[in-house]
Copies of this chain bind each other. A is one copy, B any other.
Amino acid sequence: MGRYDKLKEQVYLCNMEIPRKGLALYTWGNVSAYDPDNGAIAIKPSGVSYDELKPSDIVVLDIDGRIIEGTMNPSSDTATHLVLYRNFPSVRGIVHTHSTYATAWAQTCLPLTIYGTTHADHLAADVPCTEVMADERIQGNYEEETGNQIVDAFKNMSYSDIEMVLVACHGPFTWGVTPEKAVYNAVVLEELARMAFITHTIRPDTPALKKSLCDKHYFRKHGKDAYYGQSSNK
């Protein structure tokens, strides 16, 4: 068994969750995982349909984007993933999708308001939205600049407390300490955006969740005093 086979299998399975959870049509979306012990990042190949994807298609790169293993072109969003792995050091998995509600919200160029405890169970703040990219950055290395825009959006926020972002005019990126957690976050973000769409449509002036409720729900599930689930600290 090859050195990267386990990582490739893991990334393959995480990618297959994307259409199974209804987050992507055709080839849209991609999942990567980072194994720092092997200095390896595994990612979906570009433009391959989920119906045809095989574990052996997964492309393995080093953190500078040089291909270590694989014969296919990696996802066209690879440079974005690499920027995030370099700047968010504890991240081990990243997901990009064009899931319907999260993408539609990203198209408004607004952050996703925290309206309720479902949201606060996962993060205690709005899901941030990046700036619309400046023309000179678009003309440059576009995918790398997409990563830079995300890093900029987290200048005053913790990427480990808020594991998701909307890229303005584009769509969602999510991450986590495992690729499975990043996929979970992609599913959660889609549902949060769907609920927020409905809430906002019924009552456009619905206020954001007050801080005491944000914190209560977040810290019920995260941090040293968490008491949700079967382990004391999740």
Residue of B nearest to A110 (CB): B203
Report Cα–Cα, A187/B24, bound state, in Å. 12
Report Cα–Cα, A139/B225, bound state, in Å. 13
- Min CB distance A87 to B, Å, is 22
Q: Does A56 contact B (CB under 8 A)?
A: no
Known: A202-B110, A202-B197. A213 touches B73 (CB 8 A): no
Of A1-9, A100-108, A150-158, the one contacting chain B is A100-108
Known: A107-B199, A191-B25. A46 touches B230 (CB 8 A): yes
Find chain B residues with CB under 8 A from A107 CB. Answer: 115-116, 195-196, 199, 206
Whether the pair A228, B76 counts as a contact (CB closer than 8 A) is yes
Indicate how many identical chains form the complex: 4
Q: Does A169 contact B (CB under 8 A)?
A: yes
Report Cα–Cα, A210/B203, bound state, in Å. 23
Known: A117-B170, A195-B100. A73 touches B230 (CB 8 A): yes
Residues of A within 8 A of B (CB): 25-28, 45-48, 72-73, 76, 98, 100-101, 103-110, 115-118, 132-133, 135, 138-139, 142, 169-171, 184, 187-188, 191, 194-203, 206, 209-210, 212-213, 216, 220, 227-230, 234
A to B CB contacts below 8 Å, 5 in the list: A104-B202, A115-B169, A116-B170, A132-B210, A135-B212
- List 7 tightest A-B contacts by C-beta distance, closest first: A47-B229, A104-B198, A107-B116, A108-B203, A107-B115, A107-B199, A104-B195
